Amino acid sequence: MPTTAAKTASAKSAKSAKPAGRKAAPRRLTTAPSGYQLKQNRRRVTDSDNKTLLEKTKLVQELSDHQYMDAFDKEYPPSINTMGNFNTLTKISRFSMSTSTTTETIFLFMPSTSGVYQTLAWNADGVLIPNFYTNGPIFSLMTEPPLEMRTFRSSVRIRNVTKADDVGGSIQLIQTATPLEISWANTNSADITSDYFGELKSMITQSSKSREYSGQEFCTGDKTLVMCPATLDGYQSWKNFITPSLTESGWSSLQISTNLGQTSMSMQNLLIYFPQGTEVNTYNFTICSQVAVRYPIGTILNDLSRTQPRKVKTDEELQQLLNNVQSFSSKFVDRRERDMQPFY
């Protein structure tokens, strides 16, 4: 017969026995083993982390606004102040420019110009490259000119199409809100003085805001430059459209529209300097501009105009949008890489 002590031992053994199939719970450490320091899994957020997050958030917003103001593939006008009835037109022009082994060249694009003459280019002697003014994106409006116009968006793409063995050299460019006081050589052409060519060259090559790109950089990708609005007031203003009238007796309409385009500028100017090189490089340009136009009352085109419903930005929101686009200034952004970002 079991003794009392045996019964007690048997009860303790039964109490400590574990049910079949269950594992013992892991032992909880109440103190760290000798020589071991417990660490928290969550890292402390530092001021540096917060600064990095703010910078990334700011860049995301700037890229988003850059895409929003890109004129390519846009069928809708931007959300801006109420403007009444108007027509929205998207115009695209394509042309080529080549460097030279004998002279320098400067290209000027003026989206603010209230006429069809938005593109001009001169050689070092100030002589206009023949018929270059026809390369502007809105030159086709010459046949049926509107009464008023304002530019919503404008973008430029450049591609170096030179064969690989001859690719070389570089170009310099600047996008600037500084109005140009063009020194015309005479009244019956769009030539400029050679001294003024030198001033434009200095503006491009010596400014801290200018950028230099090698010819190789434009051989790949989809490099896009978004034109920046110059001022908030200028961007929201309408301008009378200058009716073209180039004649042998004078180029007054070209000079007038160019000069007016430099007052109360809606969009900034783009200046590109092509230095004289040892190899000829050819660049294909594609310019896209989205403009608002108003036509005379009683015309079919005026009947097609309408107020376009959209969410209207406040002046503060619009100013922030313009500032974000301005942060890229003269920088070409690879459009394919930009549009692959997850925040679009």
**In this predicted structure, what is the pLDDT of residue 41?**
47
Please check whether residue 195 is in contact with residue 181, taking contact to mean a CB–CB distance below 8 angstroms.
no
- The reported pLDDT for the residue numbered 304 is 62
Q: Which domains does the chain have, with CATH numbers?
A: 59-336 (2.60.120.20)
- pLDDT computed for residue 277 by the predictor: 87
- The C-alpha atoms of residue 243 and residue 277 are separated, in whole angstroms, by 38
Give the pLDDT confidence score for residue 248 in this predicted structure: 47
Per-residue burial over 39-75, b if 16 or more Cβ lie within 10 Å, else e, is eeeeeeeeeeeeeeeeeeeeeeebbbbbbbbbbbebe
- Exposed, middle or buried: residue 16 (CB in 10 Å: 0-12, 13-18, 19+)? exposed
* pLDDT at site 128: 93
Q: What is the pLDDT of residue 75?
A: 73
Q: What is the pTM of this model?
A: 0.77
Q: How far apart are CA 258 and CA 288, in angstroms?
A: 19
Q: CB under 8 Å, gap of 24 or more: what pairs does 192-199 form?
A: 192/122, 192/126, 192/128, 193/126, 194/124, 194/125, 194/126, 196/126, 197/106, 197/122, 197/124, 197/125, 197/126
| 239-240 vs 223-226, strand pairing mode | unpaired
| Nearest one of 79, 115, 156, 125 to 258, comparing CA atoms | 115
Helical (H) or strand (E) element with 337: helix 335-339
Residue 40 three-state SS: coil
Distances (CA, A) of 41 to 38, 75, 250, 338: 10, 50, 79, 35
User: Judging by beta carbons within 10 Å of its beta carbon (0-12, 13-18, 19+), is residue 272 exposed, middle or buried?
Assistant: buried
Q: What is the structure's pLDDT at 253?
A: 79
- pLDDT of 36: 47
- pLDDT, position 280: 93
Confidence at residue 289, expressed as pLDDT on a 0 to 100 scale: 94
- Tokens for 118? 């938005």
| Residue 257 to residue 195: CA distance in whole angstroms | 22
Residue-by-residue pLDDT tens, the chain, 344 positions: 555 555 555 555 555 555 555 555 555 545 545 544 444 444 554 545 444 655 566 666 677 777 888 899 877 777 665 567 788 889 999 999 999 999 999 999 999 888 888 999 999 999 999 888 889 999 888 888 899 988 989 999 999 999 988 898 999 999 998 899 999 998 888 899 999 999 999 999 999 889 999 999 999 887 889 998 888 888 888 888 887 765 544 577 788 888 888 887 889 999 999 999 888 999 999 999 999 898 887 666 665 665 655 556 677 777 777 777 777 777 777 766 666 554 43
**């000829």: which residue's tokens?**
280
pLDDT given for residue 39 in this prediction: 47
Amino acid in position 325: V
The position carrying tokens 């002279």 is 103
Place of tokens 């594992």: 23
